Copies of this chain bind each other. A is one copy, B any other.
Protein backbone atom coordinates (compact mmCIF):
# COMPACT_ATOMS: atom_id res chain seq x y z
CA UNK A 1 0.00 0.00 0.00
CA UNK A 2 2.94 2.32 0.64
CA UNK A 3 4.00 4.44 -2.30
CA UNK A 4 6.98 2.56 -3.62
CA UNK A 5 9.95 4.18 -5.25
CA UNK A 6 10.97 3.10 -8.72
CA UNK A 7 13.65 0.47 -8.99
CA UNK A 8 16.25 3.05 -9.93
CA UNK A 9 15.91 4.78 -6.58
CA UNK A 10 15.59 1.51 -4.80
CA UNK A 11 17.59 2.17 -1.64
CA UNK A 12 16.48 4.49 1.08
CA UNK A 13 19.44 6.79 1.56
CA UNK A 14 17.94 10.13 2.33
CA UNK A 15 17.83 10.10 6.10
CA UNK A 16 19.97 12.86 7.57
CA UNK A 17 22.54 11.52 10.06
CA UNK A 18 21.67 12.06 13.74
CA UNK A 19 25.08 13.55 14.36
CA UNK A 20 24.60 16.15 11.61
CA UNK A 21 21.10 17.35 12.49
CA UNK A 22 19.07 15.40 15.01
CA UNK A 23 15.97 17.45 14.37
CA UNK A 24 16.12 16.87 10.63
CA UNK A 25 16.89 13.18 11.23
CA UNK A 26 13.66 13.00 13.25
CA UNK A 27 11.54 14.58 10.54
CA UNK A 28 13.15 12.37 7.88
CA UNK A 29 12.34 9.23 9.86
CA UNK A 30 8.74 10.31 10.46
CA UNK A 31 8.28 10.91 6.75
CA UNK A 32 10.30 8.03 5.29
CA UNK A 33 8.90 5.42 7.64
CA UNK A 34 5.42 6.75 6.78
CA UNK A 35 4.55 7.38 10.40
CA UNK A 36 2.89 10.74 9.75
CA UNK A 37 2.49 13.37 7.07
CA UNK A 38 1.72 17.07 6.99
CA UNK A 39 -1.91 17.97 6.29
CA UNK A 40 -3.36 20.99 4.49
CA UNK A 41 -4.10 22.54 7.89
CA UNK A 42 -1.05 24.11 9.51
CA UNK A 43 -0.05 22.36 12.73
CA UNK A 44 -2.28 19.35 12.06
CA UNK A 45 -0.73 16.03 11.02
CA UNK A 46 -2.12 12.90 9.45
CA UNK A 47 -1.10 9.81 11.40
CA UNK A 48 -0.45 7.26 8.67
CA UNK A 49 -1.29 3.57 9.08
CA UNK A 50 2.19 2.52 10.20
CA UNK A 51 2.32 5.26 12.83
CA UNK A 52 -1.27 4.61 13.87
CA UNK A 53 -0.55 0.91 14.33
CA UNK A 54 2.02 1.90 16.98
CA UNK A 55 -0.63 4.05 18.65
CA UNK A 56 -3.06 1.12 18.62
CA UNK A 57 -0.49 -0.97 20.47
CA UNK A 58 -0.01 1.82 23.00
CA UNK A 59 -3.76 2.21 23.43
CA UNK A 60 -4.49 -1.46 23.91
CA UNK A 61 -1.73 -2.06 26.39
CA UNK A 62 -2.39 1.06 28.45
CA UNK A 63 -6.13 0.45 28.38
CA UNK A 64 -5.61 -3.02 29.84
CA UNK A 65 -3.66 -1.48 32.69
CA UNK A 66 -6.33 1.15 33.37
CA UNK A 67 -9.08 -1.45 33.40
CA UNK A 68 -7.09 -3.81 35.62
CA UNK A 69 -6.99 -0.99 38.20
CA UNK A 70 -10.74 -0.39 38.14
CA UNK A 71 -11.03 2.39 35.55
CA UNK A 72 -13.74 2.55 32.89
CA UNK A 73 -13.92 4.46 29.62
CA UNK A 74 -16.50 7.02 28.57
CA UNK A 75 -16.85 9.80 26.02
CA UNK A 76 -17.41 13.48 26.75
CA UNK A 77 -18.25 16.27 24.26
CA UNK A 78 -15.63 17.80 21.97
CA UNK A 79 -17.01 21.31 22.43
CA UNK A 80 -17.17 23.15 25.72
CA UNK A 81 -19.05 26.40 26.46
CA UNK A 82 -16.54 29.19 27.05
CA UNK A 83 -18.20 29.95 30.39
CA UNK A 84 -17.12 26.57 31.78
CA UNK A 85 -13.49 27.20 30.97
CA UNK A 86 -13.68 30.40 33.00
CA UNK A 87 -14.80 28.69 36.19
CA UNK A 88 -11.38 27.67 37.51
CA UNK A 89 -9.15 30.76 37.55
CA UNK A 90 -5.74 29.08 37.18
CA UNK A 91 -7.09 26.74 34.55
CA UNK A 92 -8.41 29.43 32.22
CA UNK A 93 -5.21 31.44 32.63
CA UNK A 94 -3.22 28.43 31.46
CA UNK A 95 -5.40 27.38 28.54
CA UNK A 96 -7.23 30.45 27.21
CA UNK A 97 -4.36 31.58 24.93
CA UNK A 98 -4.31 28.17 23.23
CA UNK A 99 -7.93 27.45 22.50
CA UNK A 100 -9.77 27.29 19.19
CA UNK A 101 -13.21 28.87 19.10
CA UNK A 102 -16.29 27.63 17.30
CA UNK A 103 -18.48 30.62 16.58
CA UNK A 104 -20.92 29.37 13.91
CA UNK A 105 -22.88 26.17 13.52
CA UNK A 106 -25.74 25.14 11.25
CA UNK A 107 -25.59 28.43 9.35
CA UNK A 108 -26.06 30.59 12.43
CA UNK A 109 -23.84 32.46 14.82
CA UNK A 110 -23.83 30.70 18.20
CA UNK A 111 -25.24 32.46 21.24
CA UNK A 112 -22.23 31.42 23.31
CA UNK A 113 -18.86 30.70 21.80
CA UNK A 114 -17.71 27.12 22.22
CA UNK A 115 -14.11 26.02 22.62
CA UNK A 116 -12.69 22.81 21.25
CA UNK A 117 -11.52 20.93 24.34
CA UNK A 118 -7.86 21.55 25.10
CA UNK A 119 -8.42 19.11 28.02
CA UNK A 120 -11.66 18.11 29.71
CA UNK A 121 -11.50 18.87 33.44
CA UNK A 122 -14.29 21.43 33.05
CA UNK A 123 -16.84 19.28 31.24
CA UNK A 124 -16.08 16.30 33.51
CA UNK A 125 -16.58 18.70 36.42
CA UNK A 126 -20.09 19.62 35.28
CA UNK A 127 -21.12 15.99 34.93
CA UNK A 128 -19.50 14.85 38.18
CA UNK A 129 -21.45 17.58 39.96
CA UNK A 130 -24.57 15.93 38.59
CA UNK A 131 -23.63 12.29 39.18
CA UNK A 132 -22.01 12.42 42.60
CA UNK A 133 -24.28 12.79 45.61
CA UNK A 134 -23.05 10.45 48.30
CA UNK A 135 -19.76 8.95 49.47
CA UNK A 136 -21.25 5.70 48.13
CA UNK A 137 -20.88 7.11 44.58
CA UNK A 138 -17.11 7.43 45.07
CA UNK A 139 -14.58 6.84 43.73
CA UNK A 140 -15.49 7.68 40.13
CA UNK A 141 -12.68 6.41 37.91
CA UNK A 142 -13.28 7.43 34.29
CA UNK A 143 -10.86 7.64 31.38
CA UNK A 144 -11.46 8.76 27.84
CA UNK A 145 -9.51 8.27 24.60
CA UNK A 146 -9.99 11.44 22.62
CA UNK A 147 -8.62 14.17 20.40
CA UNK A 148 -7.80 17.58 21.85
CA UNK A 149 -6.80 20.87 20.24
CA UNK A 150 -4.28 23.38 21.57
CA UNK A 151 -3.28 26.11 19.16
CA UNK A 152 0.51 25.93 18.87
CA UNK A 153 2.84 28.34 17.09
CA UNK A 154 5.64 25.87 16.40
CA UNK A 155 4.71 22.26 15.76
CA UNK A 156 6.54 19.01 15.15
CA UNK A 157 4.87 15.68 14.26
CA UNK A 158 3.90 13.68 17.38
CA UNK A 159 5.87 15.97 19.74
CA UNK A 160 3.76 19.09 19.49
CA UNK A 161 0.80 19.32 17.17
CA UNK A 162 -2.27 21.51 17.31
CA UNK A 163 -4.52 18.47 17.45
CA UNK A 164 -3.32 15.34 19.19
CA UNK A 165 -4.74 12.07 20.40
CA UNK A 166 -4.49 11.14 24.03
CA UNK A 167 -6.18 9.52 26.98
CA UNK A 168 -7.32 11.67 29.83
CA UNK A 169 -8.30 10.15 33.15
CA UNK A 170 -10.54 12.10 35.50
CA UNK A 171 -11.25 10.69 38.92
CA UNK A 172 -13.11 11.83 42.01
CA UNK A 173 -12.47 10.58 45.54
CA UNK A 174 -13.78 10.79 49.07
CA UNK A 175 -10.52 11.85 50.73
CA UNK A 176 -7.33 13.76 49.99
CA UNK A 177 -5.34 10.57 50.69
CA UNK A 178 -7.25 8.56 48.11
CA UNK A 179 -6.75 11.24 45.46
CA UNK A 180 -3.03 11.33 46.18
CA UNK A 181 -2.89 7.52 46.05
CA UNK A 182 -4.63 7.55 42.67
CA UNK A 183 -2.30 10.24 41.32
CA UNK A 184 0.76 8.19 42.21
CA UNK A 185 -0.79 4.88 41.13
CA UNK A 186 -1.27 6.24 37.63
CA UNK A 187 2.22 7.71 37.54
CA UNK A 188 3.56 4.26 38.44
CA UNK A 189 1.47 2.68 35.64
CA UNK A 190 2.89 5.21 33.16
CA UNK A 191 6.45 4.48 34.28
CA UNK A 192 6.01 0.73 34.14
CA UNK A 193 4.37 0.97 30.73
CA UNK A 194 7.07 3.25 29.28
CA UNK A 195 9.81 0.98 30.54
CA UNK A 196 8.33 -2.43 29.83
CA UNK A 197 6.45 -1.69 26.62
CA UNK A 198 8.22 1.28 25.03
CA UNK A 199 11.64 0.26 26.47
CA UNK A 200 11.92 3.94 27.36
CA UNK A 201 13.31 4.56 30.86
CA UNK A 202 11.73 7.51 32.65
CA UNK A 203 12.43 9.58 35.74
CA UNK A 204 9.32 9.96 37.89
CA UNK A 205 8.87 12.84 40.26
CA UNK A 206 7.04 16.01 41.15
CA UNK A 207 6.95 19.15 39.00
CA UNK A 208 7.99 22.50 40.42
CA UNK A 209 5.15 24.94 41.12
CA UNK A 210 5.80 26.90 37.95
CA UNK A 211 5.57 23.78 35.80
CA UNK A 212 2.35 22.52 37.39
CA UNK A 213 -0.77 21.88 35.34
CA UNK A 214 -3.07 24.91 35.30
CA UNK A 215 -5.41 24.30 38.23
CA UNK A 216 -3.55 21.42 39.91
CA UNK A 217 -2.42 21.20 43.52
CA UNK A 218 0.45 18.91 42.56
CA UNK A 219 1.68 17.69 39.20
CA UNK A 220 3.84 14.63 38.78
CA UNK A 221 5.57 13.68 35.56
CA UNK A 222 7.64 11.03 33.90
CA UNK A 223 10.58 12.39 31.93
CA UNK A 224 12.51 10.49 29.29
CA UNK A 225 15.86 11.34 27.72
CA UNK A 226 16.05 11.52 23.94
CA UNK A 227 19.02 10.59 21.76
CA UNK A 228 20.07 14.23 21.44
CA UNK A 229 20.28 14.70 25.19
CA UNK A 230 17.03 16.63 25.47
CA UNK A 231 14.29 15.59 27.87
CA UNK A 232 10.76 14.68 26.85
CA UNK A 233 7.86 15.00 29.26
CA UNK A 234 6.16 11.69 28.51
CA UNK A 235 3.17 11.78 30.83
CA UNK A 236 1.67 13.73 33.70
CA UNK A 237 -0.56 12.89 36.66
CA UNK A 238 -2.22 15.70 38.57
CA UNK A 239 -3.62 15.84 42.07
CA UNK A 240 -6.22 18.57 41.62
CA UNK A 241 -7.02 18.78 45.33
CA UNK A 242 -10.47 20.36 45.77
CA UNK A 243 -9.79 23.10 43.20
CA UNK A 244 -12.05 21.79 40.48
CA UNK A 245 -14.54 20.33 42.97
CA UNK A 246 -14.99 23.82 44.41
CA UNK A 247 -15.18 25.52 41.01
CA UNK A 248 -17.76 22.98 39.79
CA UNK A 249 -19.51 22.26 43.10
CA UNK A 250 -18.75 18.55 43.10
CA UNK A 251 -20.13 17.81 46.54
CA UNK A 252 -21.22 14.67 48.33
CA UNK A 253 -22.78 13.68 51.60
CA UNK A 254 -19.98 12.12 53.65
CA UNK A 255 -20.11 9.14 55.98
CA UNK A 256 -20.66 11.66 58.79
CA UNK A 257 -23.64 13.17 56.88
CA UNK A 258 -21.83 16.48 56.24
CA UNK A 259 -21.63 17.96 52.76
CA UNK A 260 -18.06 17.78 51.44
CA UNK A 261 -16.19 18.66 48.27
CA UNK A 262 -14.70 15.74 46.39
CA UNK A 263 -10.99 15.36 45.72
CA UNK A 264 -10.15 14.96 42.06
CA UNK A 265 -7.25 13.93 39.83
CA UNK A 266 -6.50 13.99 36.14
CA UNK A 267 -3.78 12.35 34.09
CA UNK A 268 -2.79 11.80 30.49
CA UNK A 269 -0.38 10.52 27.91
CA UNK A 270 -0.58 11.24 24.20
CA UNK A 271 0.63 10.42 20.69
CA UNK A 272 3.77 12.27 21.85
CA UNK A 273 4.89 8.86 23.17
CA UNK A 274 5.45 7.81 19.55
CA UNK A 275 7.92 10.68 19.19
CA UNK A 276 9.60 9.44 22.36
CA UNK A 277 9.99 5.94 20.94
CA UNK A 278 11.49 7.31 17.72
CA UNK A 279 14.03 9.51 19.52
CA UNK A 280 14.91 7.01 22.24
CA UNK A 281 15.83 4.10 19.99
CA UNK A 282 16.35 5.30 16.40
CA UNK A 283 19.69 5.39 14.61
CA UNK A 284 21.10 6.66 11.32
CA UNK A 285 19.35 3.89 9.40
CA UNK A 286 15.97 4.97 10.75
CA UNK A 287 13.48 3.67 13.26
CA UNK A 288 14.14 0.95 15.83
CA UNK A 289 10.92 -0.32 17.37
CA UNK A 290 10.67 -2.26 20.61
CA UNK A 291 8.90 -5.56 19.81
CA UNK A 292 6.11 -4.79 22.28
CA UNK A 293 4.84 -1.87 20.15
CA UNK A 294 6.10 -2.82 16.69
CA UNK A 295 3.24 -3.21 14.17
CA UNK A 296 5.27 -6.08 12.74
CA UNK A 297 7.69 -7.78 15.10
CA UNK A 298 9.09 -10.02 12.40
CA UNK A 299 9.38 -9.53 8.66
CA UNK A 300 10.03 -12.55 6.46
CA UNK A 301 11.86 -11.87 3.19
CA UNK A 302 12.02 -14.83 0.81
CA UNK A 303 15.11 -14.91 -1.42
CA UNK A 304 13.79 -15.38 -4.96
CA UNK A 305 16.26 -17.82 -6.48
CA UNK A 306 15.64 -20.84 -8.68
CA UNK A 307 12.43 -22.66 -7.91
CA UNK A 308 11.75 -20.46 -4.86
CA UNK A 309 8.04 -20.28 -5.53
CA UNK A 310 7.68 -24.03 -5.12
CA UNK A 311 10.18 -24.45 -2.28
CA UNK A 312 10.93 -21.24 -0.41
CA UNK A 313 7.57 -19.47 -0.59
CA UNK A 314 5.43 -22.27 0.85
CA UNK A 315 7.91 -22.64 3.71
CA UNK A 316 7.78 -18.89 4.38
CA UNK A 317 3.99 -19.06 4.49
CA UNK A 318 4.15 -22.00 6.85
CA UNK A 319 6.54 -20.17 9.17
CA UNK A 320 4.45 -17.00 9.06
CA UNK A 321 1.35 -18.97 10.02
CA UNK A 322 3.23 -20.75 12.79
CA UNK A 323 4.53 -17.47 14.27
CA UNK A 324 1.10 -15.84 14.00
CA UNK A 325 -0.42 -18.77 15.85
CA UNK A 326 2.04 -18.07 18.67
CA UNK A 327 0.77 -14.47 18.84
CA UNK A 328 3.74 -12.92 17.01
CA UNK A 329 2.97 -10.09 14.57
CA UNK A 330 4.50 -11.12 11.25
CA UNK A 331 4.68 -9.67 7.76
CA UNK A 332 5.66 -11.85 4.83
CA UNK A 333 6.84 -9.71 1.93
CA UNK A 334 6.87 -11.83 -1.24
CA UNK A 335 6.43 -8.83 -3.56
CA UNK A 336 8.43 -9.60 -6.69
CA UNK A 337 8.68 -6.00 -7.82
CA UNK A 338 11.30 -5.22 -5.17
CA UNK A 339 14.67 -6.83 -4.56
CA UNK A 340 15.60 -8.44 -1.23
CA UNK A 341 18.24 -5.71 -0.81
CA UNK A 342 15.62 -2.98 -1.14
CA UNK A 343 13.43 -4.78 1.36
CA UNK A 344 16.26 -5.19 3.87
CA UNK A 345 16.92 -1.47 4.03
CA UNK A 346 13.21 -0.59 3.85
CA UNK A 347 12.35 -2.72 6.91
CA UNK A 348 15.47 -1.58 8.75
CA UNK A 349 14.38 1.98 8.16
CA UNK A 350 10.89 1.09 9.44
CA UNK A 351 12.43 -0.40 12.58
CA UNK A 352 11.08 -3.95 12.33
CA UNK A 353 12.81 -5.70 15.27
CA UNK A 354 13.68 -8.94 13.49
CA UNK A 355 14.14 -9.89 9.85
CA UNK A 356 14.10 -13.47 8.63
CA UNK A 357 15.72 -14.17 5.26
CA UNK A 358 14.83 -17.51 3.73
CA UNK A 359 16.37 -18.79 0.50
CA UNK A 360 16.83 -22.16 -1.19
CA UNK A 361 20.03 -22.85 0.81
CA UNK A 362 18.28 -22.18 4.08
CA UNK A 363 15.59 -24.65 3.09
CA UNK A 364 18.28 -27.25 2.33
CA UNK A 365 19.91 -26.65 5.70
CA UNK A 366 16.49 -26.50 7.41
CA UNK A 367 17.30 -23.16 8.97
CA UNK A 368 16.47 -19.48 8.56
CA UNK A 369 18.76 -16.48 8.60
CA UNK A 370 17.80 -13.90 11.24
CA UNK A 371 18.95 -10.29 11.48
CA UNK A 372 18.30 -8.21 14.60
CA UNK A 373 17.52 -4.54 14.00
CA UNK A 374 18.93 -3.31 17.32
CA UNK A 375 22.40 -4.90 17.31
CA UNK A 376 22.48 -5.87 13.62
CA UNK A 377 23.70 -9.29 14.79
CA UNK A 378 22.87 -11.98 12.24
CA UNK A 379 22.61 -15.68 12.87
CA UNK A 380 21.27 -18.87 11.40
CA UNK A 381 18.44 -20.42 13.41
CA UNK A 382 17.28 -24.05 12.97
CA UNK A 383 13.69 -24.49 11.76
CA UNK A 384 13.26 -26.97 14.56
CA UNK A 385 12.05 -24.96 17.56
CA UNK A 386 11.92 -21.76 15.50
CA UNK A 387 8.92 -20.22 17.27
CA UNK A 388 10.52 -20.57 20.68
CA UNK A 389 13.81 -19.20 19.41
CA UNK A 390 12.11 -16.17 17.89
CA UNK A 391 10.01 -15.53 20.98
CA UNK A 392 13.22 -15.55 23.01
CA UNK A 393 15.00 -13.28 20.54
CA UNK A 394 12.17 -10.75 20.62
CA UNK A 395 12.23 -10.76 24.42
CA UNK A 396 15.97 -10.19 24.31
CA UNK A 397 15.62 -7.29 21.88
CA UNK A 398 13.00 -5.71 24.14
CA UNK A 399 15.28 -6.09 27.16
CA UNK A 400 18.41 -4.89 25.35
CA UNK A 401 16.72 -1.75 24.08
CA UNK A 402 15.71 -0.77 27.60
CA UNK A 403 19.20 -1.49 28.92
CA UNK A 404 20.82 0.49 26.15
CA UNK A 405 18.54 3.45 26.80
CA UNK A 406 19.22 3.23 30.55
CA UNK A 407 22.97 3.20 29.93
CA UNK A 408 22.62 6.20 27.63
CA UNK A 409 20.69 8.06 30.29
CA UNK A 410 23.23 7.22 32.98
CA UNK A 411 26.02 8.45 30.74
CA UNK A 412 24.08 11.65 30.19
CA UNK A 413 23.13 12.41 33.77
CA UNK A 414 25.52 14.45 35.84
CA UNK A 415 25.65 16.47 39.04
CA UNK A 416 26.30 20.18 39.14
CA UNK A 417 27.17 21.94 42.37
CA UNK A 418 27.63 25.35 40.81
CA UNK A 419 25.84 27.47 38.27
CA UNK A 420 28.92 27.41 36.03
CA UNK A 421 28.90 23.63 36.11
CA UNK A 422 25.23 23.62 35.10
CA UNK A 423 25.86 26.06 32.26
CA UNK A 424 28.81 24.02 31.02
CA UNK A 425 26.76 20.82 31.16
CA UNK A 426 23.99 22.41 29.08
CA UNK A 427 26.24 22.75 26.04
CA UNK A 428 26.12 20.05 23.33
CA UNK A 429 24.05 16.96 24.18
CA UNK A 430 23.53 17.78 27.81
CA UNK A 431 21.20 15.19 29.30
CA UNK A 432 19.95 15.52 32.86
CA UNK A 433 21.84 17.68 35.31
CA UNK A 434 21.07 17.23 38.99
CA UNK A 435 21.53 20.41 40.97
CA UNK A 436 20.59 21.79 44.38
CA UNK A 437 17.73 24.29 44.28
CA UNK A 438 16.14 26.59 46.85
CA UNK A 439 12.60 26.04 45.45
CA UNK A 440 12.25 29.74 44.60
CA UNK A 441 10.48 30.40 41.29
CA UNK A 442 12.80 33.32 40.56
CA UNK A 443 15.94 31.14 40.52
CA UNK A 444 14.15 28.62 38.29
CA UNK A 445 13.05 31.37 35.89
CA UNK A 446 16.52 32.93 35.72
CA UNK A 447 18.16 29.59 35.00
CA UNK A 448 15.64 28.91 32.25
CA UNK A 449 16.13 32.33 30.66
CA UNK A 450 19.90 32.03 30.69
CA UNK A 451 20.49 28.36 29.86
CA UNK A 452 17.18 27.10 28.36
CA UNK A 453 17.30 24.39 31.01
CA UNK A 454 14.10 23.74 32.89
CA UNK A 455 13.45 21.72 35.98
CA UNK A 456 11.97 18.51 34.59
CA UNK A 457 10.95 17.29 38.01
CA UNK A 458 12.13 16.52 41.51
CA UNK A 459 12.38 12.72 41.36
CA UNK A 460 11.23 10.62 44.29
CA UNK A 461 14.21 10.35 46.64
CA UNK A 462 15.49 13.78 45.67
CA UNK A 463 13.05 15.84 47.74
CA UNK A 464 15.38 16.07 50.76
CA UNK A 465 17.46 19.18 51.33
CA UNK A 466 20.88 18.28 49.92
CA UNK A 467 22.88 20.30 52.48
CA UNK A 468 24.29 22.42 49.65
CA UNK A 469 23.54 25.92 48.45
CA UNK A 470 21.11 26.59 45.58
CA UNK A 471 23.23 26.79 42.44
CA UNK A 472 21.61 30.07 41.48
CA UNK A 473 21.13 32.18 44.58
CA UNK A 474 23.44 30.45 47.04
CA UNK A 475 20.76 30.18 49.75
CA UNK A 476 20.29 26.74 51.33
CA UNK A 477 18.84 24.31 48.80
CA UNK A 478 15.66 22.44 49.65
CA UNK A 479 15.73 19.74 46.98
CA UNK A 480 17.89 18.28 44.22
CA UNK A 481 16.18 19.23 40.98
CA UNK A 482 16.70 17.49 37.64
CA UNK A 483 17.37 20.04 34.91
CA UNK A 484 17.39 19.53 31.18
CA UNK A 485 16.67 21.23 27.91
CA UNK A 486 13.32 19.83 26.95
CA UNK A 487 11.06 19.26 23.97
Contacts and interface: CB of A to CB of B under 8 A. Distances in A.
A151 B105 contact: yes
B73 A40 contact: no
Contact of A147 (B48, B142, B147): B147
A118 to B, nearest CB: 11
A81 B41 contact: yes
B77 A41 contact: yes
Given A4-B137, A137-B1, A104 B101 contact: yes
Contacts of A51: 74
A152 B127 CA distance: 22
B103 A75 contact: no
A79 B100 CA distance: 11
Given A102-B102, A104-B100, A132-B3, A49 B73 contact: yes
Contacts of A337: 136
A52 B67 CA distance: 13
A149 interface: yes
Contacts of A102: 100-103, 116
Contacts of A79: 41, 44, 100, 149, 163
Given A97-B106, A97-B107, A1 B140 contact: yes
A141 B2 CA distance: 11
A46 interface: yes
Interface in A85-114: 97-107, 114
A46 B127 contact: yes
B77 A46 contact: yes
Given A1-B137, A41-B114, A75-B165, A101 B97 contact: no
A84 B40 contact: yes
Contacts of A149: 78-79, 105
Nearest to A113: B104
A42 to B, nearest CB: 10
A18 B127 CA distance: 28
Of the listed residues A47, A52, A56, A105, the one surrounded by the most CB atoms of chain B closer than 10 A to its CB is A105
Copies of this protein in the assembly total 2
A37 interface: yes
Contacts of A165: 75
Nearest to A164: B75
Contact of A76 (B46, B53, B153): B46
Of the listed residues A53, A76, A97, the one surrounded by the most CB atoms of chain B closer than 10 A to its CB is A76
**Interface range on chain A (Cβ under 8 Å from partner):** 35 or more
Of the listed residues A39, A53, A126, A141, the one surrounded by the most CB atoms of chain B closer than 10 A to its CB is A39
A140 to B, nearest CB: 6
B103 A98 contact: no
Contacts of A40: 80-81, 84, 123, 126
A44 B84 CA distance: 15
B53 A72 contact: yes
A101 B139 CA distance: 38
A131 interface: yes
A133 B3 contact: yes
B44 A77 contact: yes
Interface string A287-329: 0000000000000000000000000000000000000000000
B106 A98 contact: yes
A434 interface: no
Given A39-B127, A97-B106, A107-B97, A48 B77 contact: no
Contacts of A136: 4, 337
A44 B133 CA distance: 23
A151 B45 CA distance: 25
A130 interface: yes
Nearest to A147: B78
A97 B108 CA distance: 9
Interface in A177-201: none
A127 B44 contact: no
Contacts of A75: 46-47, 52, 55, 165
Given A3-B134, A97-B106, A105-B149, 10 more contacts: A4-B136, A39-B126, A40-B123, A41-B77, A46-B127, A52-B75, A79-B149, A100-B106, A146-B147, A147-B147
9 contacts: A1-B139, A3-B134, A39-B77, A52-B72, A52-B73, A78-B78, A78-B116, A101-B105, A102-B116
